[in-house]
Amino acid sequence: MDNLILIGFMGCGKSTLGVSLSKRLDIPFLDTDKYIEDGQKTSISDIFAKQGEAVFRRLETDCLKELLEKSGDVVISTGGGIVICEENRRLLKELGTAVYVKVSPETVYERLKEDNTRPLLQGTNPLEKIKALMQQRSRFYEEAASVVLEADKKSVEELTQEICSLIERRKR
């Protein structure tokens, strides 16, 4: 399968970029968080609060497996923690070309400081939480990615163009 998959930390812009790419490439867009929320008929925060993170991680694996059964290419935006699990990193490789949308902890902090929908960043010292999680996860993003995209200080339009050029180059 050759889906285009966006991976990266919370707040890196995967969903916005995914919508833009889906329009440019004229293929459907799918967001794994939304897919899970629709399937469970509740919010991610609620799943974390009532069932815990481990259950959410299993739902992410189920989601990737279900997407592998679908035909037709799609732009997929993923939850920031999907790469933690080794099985998911393998499934992502099967599913298509994964682009790691890489941003700094400060960019994430600026974008998400007022956000209350990310259970892992609630409470005191969100910047410290972002830095610690990013440090744990960056090797997993690098491992799962086919391409790394430096995304700090670039517009959605620039990033869309950059990804389209990268895909074109990989096809040749």
| Footprint of ligand S3P (CB under 6 A) | 10, 33, 44, 79-81, 118-120
CA distance linking residue 95 with residue 68, whole number of Å? 6
Query: In the numeric block, which tokens belong to residue 23?
Result: 């329009």
- Strand-pair category, 75-77 with 29-31: parallel
Among residues 102 and 118, whose Cβ is nearest to ligand S3P? Answer: 118
In the complex, the smallest distance separating the C-beta of residue 117 from ligand S3P, rounded to whole angstroms, is 7
85 to each of 2, 57, 105, how far by Cα in Å? Answer: 21, 8, 22
Comparison of 11 and 96: residue with beta carbon closer to ligand S3P? 11
Residues in Cβ contact with 105 at an 8 Å cutoff, skipping those fewer than 6 apart: 127, 130, 131, 134
Closest distance of CB 96 from ligand S3P, Å: 18
Residue 65, Cβ neighbours under 10 Å: how many?
Answer: 14
Measured from the CB atom, the residue of 33 and 67 that comes closer to ligand S3P is 33
Rounded CA separation 6/8 (Å): 7
Please report how close the Cβ of residue 79 comes to ligand S3P at its closest, in angstroms.
2
Q: How far is the CB of 31 from ligand S3P (least distance, A)?
A: 7
**Residue 80 or 105 having the CB closest to ligand S3P:** 80
With CA atoms as reference, report the closest residue to 135 among 48, 9, 12.
9
Residue 154: CB minimum distance to ligand S3P, A? 18
Nearer to ligand S3P by Cβ, of 49 and 68: the residue is 49
